[in-house]
Amino acid sequence: MLITIGRYLNPWEAHVLRGRLEAEGILAFVTNDAHAIAVFPLSYAFGGTALQVPASRVDEAREILRDCASGALEDDLRAETGLAPLKCARCGSADLRDVVPVSQKVLVVMLALWSATFPTRATGMRCNACNHTWEFGD
């Protein structure tokens, strides 16, 4: 029996997480992704794209998803590849969050009013310690 362990409005996010689970040896499935890709507003009607795993692996899969969300897996990847951990250039803090520019938020609101919504991605980071903001590539 398959259990839904996550729902995502962005079907590509569900597929990336499915790949991560399968890399850890957990068979995973993504459902309702074709509907979301073909007609994005339809994904709201289906409750998003579902990520499912066998009932016997639910706890292990949820732990991996928590590690993905916390950034622990990104830290491991940076250590393995020799990249420095992502830190604030001003104060050196590693307590960061994504930043979505106001222009993208306004665009999403305008498109939502015309029923043509789509997911956006952050283009920068903000340090939670000192509130310093920077764009990717700076």
At residue 128, the pLDDT reads: 85
Average pLDDT, rounded, for the chain: 82
More confident residue, 119 or 96: 96
What domain range is 120 assigned to?
96-135
Domain shared by 13 and 51, yes or no: yes
What's the pLDDT score for residue 87?
Answer: 80
Whether the per-residue pLDDT at 118 is higher than 90: the answer is: no
The contacts of residue 102 (CB under 8 Å, 6+ apart) are none
Q: Are residues 76 and 105 in the same domain?
A: no
Average pLDDT over residues 67-83: 80
Whether residues 38 and 66 share a domain: the answer is yes
Same domain, 10 and 50: yes
Rounded Cα distance between 39 and 33, Å, is 10
Q: Are residues 109 and 74 in the same domain?
A: no
Question: Is 10 found in the same domain as 59?
Answer: yes
> Residue 41 contacts by C-beta under 8 Å, 6 or more apart in sequence?
115, 116, 117
- 100, 65: one domain: no
Model confidence at 95: pLDDT above 90 = no
